[in-house]
């Protein structure tokens, strides 16, 4: 297996080191945690979308035999107005705490109000029915545009709007309003030959990970707390839990168990403080696993949006100005994802003049959280629609139009960022050169093809890595990044490459928060990039120490020891890495390499594109995907199978978002589709094979050129699907999901207009 490019390990496809455990059922996920004396917890949730909690009577629940402890929001430490920044920007601690267990008000149906632990899960559940909560039901608002109106029911009477960085002192559901501006958009629009403006709505959707949230905690008599959980970030879970419980992080050890998907939704904590408090009260370890309805009702969702896009171009096909109005649901608490949307909305294109106007709005839905390139999918759906219309209006091929306007090295985004070397144009060229694009578009009745281009900026953040060299030349690598898709192996590969080792001789393991330096979340497409970089640096540290050992053995100066192709040498003396490892005990003992990174520059963003072929059933509005290709810039694909896997997974999620996924609330503000039956993620029968084309424009900001590939791939699918549907039936939808009833209604409306036009 040769990797090319002079690499021995990078670019190959070894079997993941945790693979056998995962195909034999032996891998221990959070829910599989088993401890002596384990109790089982359950959470009582508000049936009301908006209500004041007048009283909670837990006495009957406490009296039920088998119940060991009952908890309400009143049992959590009072947090006052403390502002904390735990990796997601500054937030009021009270909001985080109230989202774990409500105190004064419940702000969405499914909002936790109490918790119980008992000797088994059924008794705990029975106890929930015995908790008496008296609510004063308040008027709720679940529609974004309604929530923004004056006089809308207000979730936080004391929350004032932050506008352009200033506190306005005005209370409303508008948490934040900000803008980015570049150049002179008004003048540029006035000079444009073509200006097109459209309006879009996208539904609230969920990350949809198959594993429900879970947490198991043991609060020891000495005040030390251990938490076993499925989290995207053990250190983030520790920090958030410590903040909510008002306990120093040194008192908490988070043991990251295997995690069954996250996609951004397992960055926030939900159950961890509850498990800890129930354990404290009962003196025994407590495990909580969310029910599936609770997962949908209380966690995750990524924002529904209302977006307006206006773009202007010249006759020669150059986009001269762009303007976006982006309003995002933040859910029950402020601090949503509209900022990220602003960083993506026009970021595929080189546009000299622009304005991005953003609104973060609270409403009676669960607090919004990241979902794979958060904010980018909604924005991409809107922008690509207008890009297609501009190209059509100008009579330019839409791919040519994109190539003409493609962002490139030195492009300044409207939010001010200037691009280093980026693969935008290369991704577009890969569309053009693909077999799929060159093949005839499907030409049957109601069939069509669409293309789209999307972006995610990726993040760096902190990672740590330690490498213990064993005396047989194998290496035990410890790192703190939860492995959700094979990252242990991608990290081990970078270590192995650096020292020319066999990848199977490097065993990477994800360790707990007491055993490794601070490592930020598995998110932002950062793990292969940043933790891989830490592995690379720790390998260099090992190399330096091993050179010293060789120098000692050979009685030469360390600078006289060379290391090349896995061999240490000096003059005619040489040792392989394995041979030298056998001499560690006589040269001072074990070698441990260590490294930390916090790359604040050099993070390489990634562009992704799609070609989608669809067929629409004109009688029912149902869309079938006939063929689908995803193209993405990986910088350098460390493990190509995992890169393809990310691309395919993001595509599938994007297709689900495009076609069927949405939160469906009833008139009382309760979620009517809180199951996989009615929250319709794609099944295997809904998708074709997903073809992948990996583009490699090395990231100059990483030793191996890596760009994270976890996210950008979810941005373009809804736009590509919309384009394909438009090509098939002549109607370009402005709303997600493009579910059958919406497609049919749009078709009928368009036919109605056509008939009207013909008749008039």
Closest to other proteins by CB, 28 vs 190, is 28
Q: What are residue 595's phi and psi, to 5 degrees?
A: -160, 150
Rounded least distance, CB 686 to other proteins, Å: 5
Rounded least distance, CB 109 to other proteins, Å: 14
Closest to other proteins by CB, 109 vs 545, is 109
Closest to other proteins by CB, 188 vs 623, is 623
Closest to other proteins by CB, 211 vs 711, is 211
Q: Which helix (H) or strand (E) holds 394?
A: helix 376-394
Q: The tokens of 676 are what?
A: 């996989």
Rounded least distance, CB 379 to other proteins, Å: 22
Q: Which of 320, 671, 259, 699 is nearest to 481 (CA)?
A: 259
Rounded least distance, CB 722 to other proteins, Å: 17
* Cβ 594 vs Cβ 475: under 8 Å: no
- Order the strands of the 606-616 sheet from edge to edge: 447-456, 606-616, 623-633, 690-695
Q: Which of 40, 64, 213 is nearest to 121 (CA)?
A: 40
Q: Which helix (H) or strand (E) holds 200?
A: strand 194-202
Q: Which helix (H) or strand (E) holds 477?
A: strand 475-479
Beta bridge partners of 219: 225
Cα–Cα distance list, 481 to 506, 507, 513 (Å): 16, 14, 10
How many Cβ atoms from other residues are within 10 Å of residue 288's Cβ?
29
Closest to other proteins by CB, 335 vs 708, is 708
Q: What is the dihedral of CA 132, 137, 142, 145, to 10 degrees?
A: -160
Rounded least distance, CB 51 to other proteins, Å: 21
Closest to other proteins by CB, 20 vs 754, is 20
Closest to other proteins by CB, 22 vs 78, is 22
First CA to last CA distance, the chain: 69
Q: Which of 370, 422, 455 is nearest to 712 (CA)?
A: 455
Task: Classify strands 506-510 and 475-479 as parallel, antiparallel or unpaired.
Answer: parallel
Rounded least distance, CB 755 to other proteins, Å: 17
Rounded least distance, CB 745 to other proteins, Å: 8
Rounded least distance, CB 130 to other proteins, Å: 12
Closest to other proteins by CB, 571 vs 688, is 688
Rounded least distance, CB 749 to other proteins, Å: 13
Closest to other proteins by CB, 136 vs 672, is 672
* Cβ 271 vs Cβ 287: under 8 Å: no
Q: Which of 459, 463, 480 is nearest to 523 (CA)?
A: 459
Rounded least distance, CB 732 to other proteins, Å: 20
Rounded least distance, CB 119 to other proteins, Å: 12
Beta bridge partners of 506: 475
Q: Which of 103, 95, 4 is nearest to 46 (CA)?
A: 103
Rounded least distance, CB 236 to other proteins, Å: 18
List CB contacts of 325: < 8 A, sequence separation 6 or more: 306, 307, 308, 357, 359
b/e 111-148 (16+ beta carbons within 10 angstroms → b):
bbbbbbbbbebebbebbbebbebebeebebbbbbeebb
Q: Which helix (H) or strand (E) holds 61?
A: helix 59-63
Rounded least distance, CB 337 to other proteins, Å: 20
Q: What is the dihedral of CA 488, 490, 491, 492, to 10 degrees?
A: 80
Rounded least distance, CB 229 to other proteins, Å: 14
Q: What are residue 475's phi and psi, to 5 degrees?
A: -130, 135
Closest to other proteins by CB, 128 vs 461, is 128
Closest to other proteins by CB, 199 vs 678, is 678
* Cβ 208 vs Cβ 683: under 8 Å: no
Closest to other proteins by CB, 606 vs 673, is 673
* Cβ 341 vs Cβ 375: under 8 Å: yes
Alpha-carbon distance 268 to 229, whole Å? 12
List CB contacts of 178: < 8 A, sequence separation 6 or more: 162, 163, 164, 165, 339, 342, 358
Closest to other proteins by CB, 427 vs 623, is 623
Closest to other proteins by CB, 45 vs 105, is 45
Rounded least distance, CB 739 to other proteins, Å: 6
Alpha-carbon distance 255 to 273, whole Å? 14
Q: Which of 103, 35, 64 is nearest to 283 (CA)?
A: 35
Rounded least distance, CB 121 to other proteins, Å: 8
Q: The tokens of 158 are what?
A: 């004391």
* Cβ 487 vs Cβ 527: under 8 Å: yes
Closest to other proteins by CB, 19 vs 442, is 19
Alpha-carbon distance 580 to 573, whole Å? 12
Rounded least distance, CB 585 to other proteins, Å: 36
Closest to other proteins by CB, 389 vs 729, is 729
Rounded least distance, CB 643 to other proteins, Å: 10
Closest to other proteins by CB, 27 vs 540, is 27
List CB contacts of 448: < 8 A, sequence separation 6 or more: 441, 442, 613, 614, 616, 723, 724, 725, 726, 727, 728, 729
Closest to other proteins by CB, 578 vs 622, is 622
């Amino acid at each position: 297996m040769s990797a090319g490019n002079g690499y021995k390990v990078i670019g190959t496809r070894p079997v993941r080191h945790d693979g056998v455990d995962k195909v034999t059922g032996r891998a221990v996920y959070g829910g599989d945690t088993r401890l002596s004396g384990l109790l089982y917890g359950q959470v009582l949730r508000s049936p009301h979308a908006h209500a004041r909690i007048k009283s909670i009577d837990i006495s009957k629940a406490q009296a039920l035999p088998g119940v060991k402890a009952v908890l309400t929001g009143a049992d959590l430490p009072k947090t006052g107005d403390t502002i904390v920044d735990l990796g997601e920007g500054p937030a009021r601690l009270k909001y985080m705490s109230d989202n774990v267990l409500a105190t004064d008000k419940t702000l969405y149906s499914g909002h936790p109000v109490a918790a119980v632990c008992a000797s088994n899960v059924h008794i705990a559940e029975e106890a929930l029915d015995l908790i008496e909560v008296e609510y004063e039901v308040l008027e709720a608002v679940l529609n974004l545009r309604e929530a923004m109106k004056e006089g809308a029911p207000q979730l936080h009477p004391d929350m004032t709007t932050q506008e352009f960085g200033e506190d306005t002192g005005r209370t409303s559901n508008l948490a934040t309003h900000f803008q980015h501006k570049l150049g002179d958009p008004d003048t540029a629009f006035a000079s444009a030959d073509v200006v097109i403006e459209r309006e879009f709505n996208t539904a609230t959707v969920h990350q949809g990970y198959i594993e429900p949230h879970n947490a198991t905690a043991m609060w020891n008599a000495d005040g030390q707390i251990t938490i076993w959980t499925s989290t995207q970030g053990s250190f983030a879970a520790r920090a958030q839990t410590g903040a909510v419980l008002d306990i120093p992080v040194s008192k908490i050890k988070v043991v990251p168990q295997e995690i069954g998907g996250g996609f951004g939704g397992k960055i926030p904590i939900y159950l961890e403080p509850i498990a800890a408090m129930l354990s404290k009260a009962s003196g025994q370890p407590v495990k909580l696993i969310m029910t599936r309805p609770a997962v949908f009702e209380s966690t995750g969702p990524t924002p529904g949006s209302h977006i307006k896009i206006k773009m202007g171009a010249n006759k020669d096909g150059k986009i001269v100005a762009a303007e976006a109005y982006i309003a995002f649901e933040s859910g029950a608490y402020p601090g949503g994802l509209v900022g990220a949307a602003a960083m993506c909305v026009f970021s595929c294109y080189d546009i000299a003049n622009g304005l991005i106007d953003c609104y973060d709005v609270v409403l009676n839905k669960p607090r919004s959280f990241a979902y794979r390139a958060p904010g980018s999918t909604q924005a991409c759906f809107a922008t690509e629609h207008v890009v297609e219309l501009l190209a059509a209006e100008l009579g330019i091929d839409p791919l040519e139009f994109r190539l003409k306007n493609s962002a490139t090295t030195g492009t300044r985004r409207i939010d001010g960022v200037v691009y280093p070397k980026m693969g935008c144009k290369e991704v577009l060229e890969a569309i053009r050169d693909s077999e799929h694009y060159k093949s005839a578009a499907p030409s049957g009745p109601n069939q069509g093809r669409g293309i789209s281009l999307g972006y995610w900026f990726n993040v760096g953040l902190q990672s740590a890595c330690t490498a213990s060299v064993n005396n047989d030349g194998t290496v035990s690598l410890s790192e703190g990044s939860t492995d959700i898709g094979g990252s242990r192996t991608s990290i081990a590969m970078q270590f192995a490459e650096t020292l020319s080792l066999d990848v199977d001789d490097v065993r990477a393991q994800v360790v707990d928060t007491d055993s490794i330096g601070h490592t930020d979340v598995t998110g932002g497409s950062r793990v292969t990039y940043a933790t891989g970089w830490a592995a690379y640096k720790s390998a260099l540290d090992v190399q330096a120490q091993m050179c010293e050992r060789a120098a000692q053995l050979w009685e030469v100066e360390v600078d006289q020891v060379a290391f090349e192709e896995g061999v240490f040498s000096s003059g005619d003396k040489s040792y392989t890495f394995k041979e030298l490892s056998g001499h560690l005990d006589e040269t001072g003992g074990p070698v441990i390499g260590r490294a930390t990174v916090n790359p604040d520059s050099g993070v390489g963003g990634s562009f992704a594109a799609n070609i989608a072929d669809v067929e629409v059933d004109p009688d029912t509005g149902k869309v079938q995907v006939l063929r689908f290709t995803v193209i993405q810039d990986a910088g350098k694909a460390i493990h190509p199978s995992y890169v393809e896997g990310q691309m395919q997974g993001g595509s599938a999620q994007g297709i689900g978002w495009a076609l069927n996924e949405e939160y469906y609330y009833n008139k009382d503000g309760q979620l009517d589709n809180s199951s996989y039956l009615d929250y319709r993620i794609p099944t295997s029968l809904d998708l074709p094979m997903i073809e992948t084309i990996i583009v490699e424009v090395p990231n100059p900001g990483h030793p191996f050129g890596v760009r994270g590939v976890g996210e950008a791939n979810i941005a373009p699918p809804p736009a590509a699907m919309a384009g394909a549907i438009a090509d098939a039936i002549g109607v370009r939808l402005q709303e997600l999901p493009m579910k059958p009833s919406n497609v049919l209604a749009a078709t009928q409306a368009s036919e109605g207009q056509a008939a009207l036009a013909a008749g008039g």
